[in-house]
Chain A
Amino acid sequence: MVLNRILETLQKGDVKQIADLIGQAFDAGMTPEEVLNQGLIAGMDVVGQKFQAGQIYIPHMLLAARAMHAALDILKPLLAGNGNARAGRVVLGTVRGDHHDIGKNLVSTMLEGKGFEVIDVGIDAEPEKFVAAVDETIQIVAMSALLSTTAPFMGETIEALERAGLRKNIKIMVGGGAVTREFADSIGADAYGADAATAALLAMELVASQKEAR
């Protein structure tokens, strides 16, 4: 079945073959939503599970991510206008003073693999930059810090979101080398992601909890 082949090809990161397979899926009458949900998102779920289990490593994640982005480039125009295809919108960045981005980028990839739209505010992002990126369409603010000297700026960013009156409408997720669950709790974050795959799963749970609360 072509969707299974898309799922497998995504894990191998074969950009050309995945484009061919998407064409075959359309020829077989499948919708872009079916290709996205049963091919790409399902494939990235497998990638995330293998990463969490230590069966694959970051280079394999990057390989899969590259194939997924190539596939999304094909699918996005066809999904336009269909809001149901998106799991939610996340503002993501590495906090003030911290210039590390590989962890953040992996989280971005895994979130996109779950169907989230990611608004990446980059590295060394001041609290005000996070605040400016949040509007009523944002469900989650996700922050990364590798350094124990910069992790406290996660707390400052949460305070800035509170001062701006935005905190109650969003969930906060944190992670990175310097962050522990205890630290996340101490600054009032809603979730701590120990790795990129966990972060994506937690984002799904956070959005589900928001919907239930409404």
Chain B
Amino acid sequence: MNGKQRILTALAVKQADRVPLYIHGINEAPIIGIGRHITDGLPGVKDFRKMTDSEKFKVLDTLFLIHETYGVDGFTAFEIGHEINLDDGHVQDEFGVTYALSDFGLPVAKGHPIKEPQDLTRYTPPVPDRGHLLLLDLARDRFKGEKALFWLMRGTFVRCWRLMGMENLMLKMFDDPQFVHQVARMTLDYNLAQLDLLVEAGLDVLVIEDDIADKNFPLIAPDQFLEFVNFYNRQIVEAAHKKGLKVVRHSDGNLWPLLDILLDSGYDGLNPLEPQAGMDMARVKAYCGDRICLLGNIDCIDLLPNGTCGQVDEAVRTAIQDGGKGGGLIICSSNSLHPGVNPENCIAMFEATRKYGLYDTP
């Protein structure tokens, strides 16, 4: 089996030749840190936006090389070129959302263009741009069907709170539900239009990235989730399935109060299964059985930043033991490989997946 076959088999909750390996997301620092083990000439760690064109090319090439060298079975692409620089510390995306840049993590949405209904009447929604799928094109041409191509699509909740502001969105669910539905519908239209472009570009797996929980509880009540979020995300799932894609649901946090809803929504996979949020692999596997493929669970909050390679090796072995039986498991970290992870521990995770992931009978 090649990587693509392996991933698609696991997402069908069937047993491949071995447990597949996946990187959900990765920042510049771990690309460069891991990359230094396999190539020369990498730039110092800095924001991708601040790199020269040759540095960007080198970093992207290294990202591909990491997938090839360590046998990562799927590649995650995402939009690039959709932001404009406002100043050294801020960018704005195609929706008009302003983000504060940080040296310590992903940009954080701070400027929200649709706070009130009158803002929506003046607002012109963006149209998905084929050019923003460049990374998917590059990956498709590089891997030539050997690896599954994933795409991170922001889901309804994330798009809505970025447009409206998190606290404002939550209060508008009580004060003006119709307004929330209008914004959600607008984001759905965008996502469905982008889905058409993604299918034409050769996508295999759509990841609906829509963080909806913290480590304690969902951010909103289950009934609000059903009405304002899942109603729309589910339409993306159905549209993607009609086009032959697999669909993975990504959300940080404790998803137990929403798990039945998610299982009923048709997703093929669930990611990233944060151990600190109670998403214990054995317990989730026992509950979900063969209804959904599990992706993740290797702790990136404490283990990958601060643990030893031996501890990472043991965590991978345990995850495969707890979640791998019969297939339906894809190993990756419990969220993105962020600037705080130790590159050597990431490599240990890759190697342990190959070491322990072989199924006895394909």
Q: Which A residues lie at the B interface, using CB under 8 A?
A: 13, 54, 56-60, 62-63, 66, 97-100, 102-103, 105, 124, 147-150, 177-178, 180, 194-195
- 0/1 per residue, B328-362, Cβ < 8 Å to A? 00000000001110000000000000000000000
B302 at the interface (CB under 8 A from A): yes
Residue from B103, B174, B257 with most neighbouring chain A CB atoms (10 Å): B174
The chain B residue sitting closest to A146, CB to CB, is B105
Q: Which of B220-243 contact A (CB under 8 A)?
A: 220-221, 224
Q: Once the chains are docked, how many angstroms separate the CA of A178 from the CA of B334?
A: 13
Q: Once the chains are docked, how many angstroms separate the CA of A63 from the CA of B174?
A: 8
Contact between chains at B105 and A147 (CB < 8 Å): yes
The chain A residue sitting closest to B339, CB to CB, is A149
B265 at the interface (CB under 8 A from A): no
Q: Which of B20-43 contact A (CB under 8 A)?
A: none
What are 27 pairs between A and B in contact, CB < 8 Å?
A13-B174, A54-B217, A56-B221, A57-B217, A57-B218, A57-B219, A59-B173, A59-B174, A59-B221, A62-B171, A66-B171, A98-B102, A98-B104, A99-B102, A99-B108, A102-B166, A105-B167, A147-B104, A147-B105, A147-B340, A148-B300, A148-B301, A148-B338, A148-B340, A149-B104, A149-B105, A195-B216
Task: List, in ascending order, chain A residues with CB within 8 A of B216's CB.
Answer: 194-195
Q: Which of B298-338 contact A (CB under 8 A)?
A: 300-302, 305, 338
Name the one of A98, A99, A102, A178 contacting B167, with C-beta atoms under 8 angstroms: A102
Contact between chains at A59 and B220 (CB < 8 Å): yes
| Chain B contact residue count (CB 8 A cutoff) | 31
Contact between chains at A54 and B257 (CB < 8 Å): yes
B5 at the interface (CB under 8 A from A): no
The chain A residue sitting closest to B221, CB to CB, is A57
Q: Once the chains are docked, how many angstroms separate the CA of A59 from the CA of B229?
A: 14
Contact between chains at A62 and B103 (CB < 8 Å): no
